[in-house]
């Protein structure tokens, strides 16, 4: 448990990257049928029940995880959806490239 506590303490002491983010909104991951279904329910409840008007982004790991039909369903509720990019230090990799290497953390 000490390693987890150390990681949390380290992340709290890191400076917030103000130059990388802007505005308010909701981001959720939703690749594949199982996670897409959960995200779709989340988004529809936020929009219909809670009348949430924040922009919503749905991230996925490329074309193998989200179909045209899924995109169509999302278009009614989510403002944007896009392929996730993974950053490691100063380098940025497409999720498709990371999947080929079998690296799954987003």
Q: Tell me, what's the pLDDT at 22? A: 78
pLDDT tens digits along 53-69: 888 888 877 677 788 88
Rounded to two decimals, the pTM is 0.61
Q: Tell me, what's the pLDDT at 30? A: 82
Q: Burial, 58: exposed, middle or buried (Cβ in 10 Å; 0-12, 13-18, 19+)?
A: buried
3-class DSSP state of 98: helix
Give the H/E segment covering residue 53: none
Residue with tokens 């279904």: 37
**What residues of the chain score a pLDDT lower than 50?**
none
Residue with tokens 């390693």: 3
Residue with tokens 């992340």: 11
Q: Tell me, what's the pLDDT at 67? A: 85
The residues near 36 (Cβ < 8 Å, ≥ 6 apart) are: 30, 65, 66, 70
3-class DSSP state of 61: coil
Q: Tell me, what's the pLDDT at 46? A: 92
Q: Tell me, what's the pLDDT at 85? A: 57
Q: Tell me, what's the pLDDT at 6? A: 77
């Amino acid at each position: 448990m000490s390693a987890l506590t150390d990681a949390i303490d380290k992340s709290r002491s890191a400076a917030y990257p103000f130059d990388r983010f802007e505005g308010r909104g909701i981001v959720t991951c939703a690749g594949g049928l199982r996670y897409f279904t959960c995200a779709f329910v989340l988004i529809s409840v936020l929009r219909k029940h809670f009348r949430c008007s924040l922009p919503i982004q749905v991230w996925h790991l490329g074309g193998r995880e989200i179909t045209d039909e899924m995109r169509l369903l999302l278009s009614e509720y989510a403002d944007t959806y896009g392929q996730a990019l993974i950053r490691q230090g100063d380098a940025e990799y497409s999720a498709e490239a990371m999947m080929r290497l079998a690296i799954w953390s987003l």
